[in-house]
């Protein structure tokens, strides 16, 4: 479940692990700027591929034209999907403006959610825009009112993030995602403290419960400096102790830092052996 609080573009969500996170929704201008940059990259890529097809094949035989249509389809359909999966919710345009896609419930960004949100762009953007620019490809002999209908269609869908409080486009609503301002990572030297300073120790069985995703969430929690920091530490400490069956009284912050160090060391050893545990469900 997602808990949203605050005014303006700030929201507070509670992750499936029970960790409260404060996020900032991307502004409409940032979303538009990132999309236009990505669109420009797509256009350049499509033009380059079409020129390459024209130079390498004979247009009159039809092979060059077929290749060009295939290249345009692949770039238009899979550009956003490929980058958002590979770059954890970012595209080149989003990286420039400082935004990223995240799961609306605070969990890991799922591949199927990325695919759904971007396939919806066909309905939101490409279909109405294609009709307005080259109507004969979508609806030959379309009546005059159809252009007005598609114009309203494009206007409503393109401006949807402006009209709702969470700045969601239709693809986000269907996929359960949101676009947020990407947080800037701040190095916290204390997280890298030597293992010899640890107060609490953990068994291999206890550390095997969690994976890379939980380590990243825990690191974000330990970097927090807001007023809710202490409450968050206590809530997460109790959940981890229950999950790994750790007995005895502990100091929440010290416990979480020791667990972070031990889990990180274990995962690094496993990765050296070619073994990766993505999250607790793996």
- Render pLDDT for 43-94 as a digit per residue (tens, 0 to 9): 999 888 888 877 766 655 667 777 878 888 889 889 999 999 999 899 999 9
Same-domain pairing of 240 and 111: no
Task: Extract the runs of DSSP E, i.e. beta strands, from 132-209.
Answer: 177-181
Q: What percent of the chain has pLDDT over 70?
A: 81
Among 151, 181, 211, the domain-final residue is: 181
Sign, Cα dihedral of 45, 47, 49, 52: negative
Residue 279 placed within a domain:
no
Q: Is the pLDDT of residue 155 over 50?
A: yes
Containing structural domain, residue 125 = 10-181
pLDDT at 18: 65
pLDDT at 195: 45
pLDDT at 58: 64
pLDDT at 271: 64
pTM over 0.75: no
Residue 1 placed within a domain:
no
Residue 165 placed within a domain:
yes
Same-domain pairing of 18 and 111: yes
Same-domain pairing of 215 and 163: no
Same-domain pairing of 211 and 151: no
Residues 6+ apart with CB under 8 A from 230: 252
Same-domain pairing of 214 and 254: yes
Same-domain pairing of 74 and 169: yes
Compare 199 and 276 and report the one with higher pLDDT.
199
Residue 42 placed within a domain:
yes
Residue 79 placed within a domain:
yes
In this prediction, residues 149-162 reach a mean pLDDT of 84
What confidence tens digit (pLDDT) does each residue in 171-228 have?
999 999 999 998 665 444 545 444 446 789 899 999 988 888 788 888 888 887 766 7
Same-domain pairing of 104 and 205: no
pLDDT at 227: 66
In this prediction, residues 132-147 reach a mean pLDDT of 78
Same-domain pairing of 80 and 14: yes
Inter-residue contact 201 to 224 (CB < 8 Å): no
Residue 249 placed within a domain:
yes
Same-domain pairing of 74 and 163: yes
Considering its fold, how many domains does the chain have in total? 2
Length of the chain: 282
Round the average pLDDT of the chain to a whole number and report it. 81
Inter-residue contact 141 to 149 (CB < 8 Å): no
Same-domain pairing of 77 and 123: yes
Residue 159 placed within a domain:
yes
Same-domain pairing of 171 and 240: no
Inter-residue contact 222 to 191 (CB < 8 Å): yes
Residue 116 placed within a domain:
yes
């Amino acid at each position: 479940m997602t808990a949203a609080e605050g005014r303006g573009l700030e929201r507070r969500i509670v992750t499936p692990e029970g960790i409260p996170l404060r996020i900032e929704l991307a502004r409409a201008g940032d979303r538009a700027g990132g999309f236009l940059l990505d669109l420009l990259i797509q256009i350049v890529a499509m033009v380059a591929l079409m020129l390459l097809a024209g130079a390498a094949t004979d247009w009159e035989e039809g092979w060059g034209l077929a290749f060009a249509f295939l290249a345009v389809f692949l770039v238009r359909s899979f550009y956003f999907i490929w980058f958002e999966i590979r770059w954890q919710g970012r595209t080149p345009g989003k990286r420039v403006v400082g935004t990223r896609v995240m799961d609306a419930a605070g969990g890991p960004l799922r591949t199927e959610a990325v695919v759904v949100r971007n396939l919806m762009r066909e309905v939101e953007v490409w279909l109405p825009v294609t009709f307005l620019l080259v109507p004969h490809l979508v609806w030959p002999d379309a009546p005059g009112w159809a252009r007005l209908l598609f114009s309203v269609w494009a206007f409503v869908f393109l401006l949807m993030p402006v009209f709702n409080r969470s700045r969601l486009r239709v693809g986000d609503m269907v996929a359960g995602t949101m676009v947020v301002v990407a947080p800037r990572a701040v190095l916290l030297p204390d997280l890298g403290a030597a293992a010899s300073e640890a107060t609490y120790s953990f068994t291999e069985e206890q550390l095997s419960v969690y994976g890379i995703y939980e380590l990243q969430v825990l690191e974000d929690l330990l970097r927090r400096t807001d007023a809710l920091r202490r409450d968050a530490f206590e809530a997460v400490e109790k959940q981890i102790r229950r999950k790994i069956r750790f007995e005895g009284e502990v100091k929440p912050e010290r416990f979480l830092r020791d667990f972070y160090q031990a889990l990180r060391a274990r995962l690094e050893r496993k990765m050296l052996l070619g073994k990766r545990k993505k999250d607790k469900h793996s």
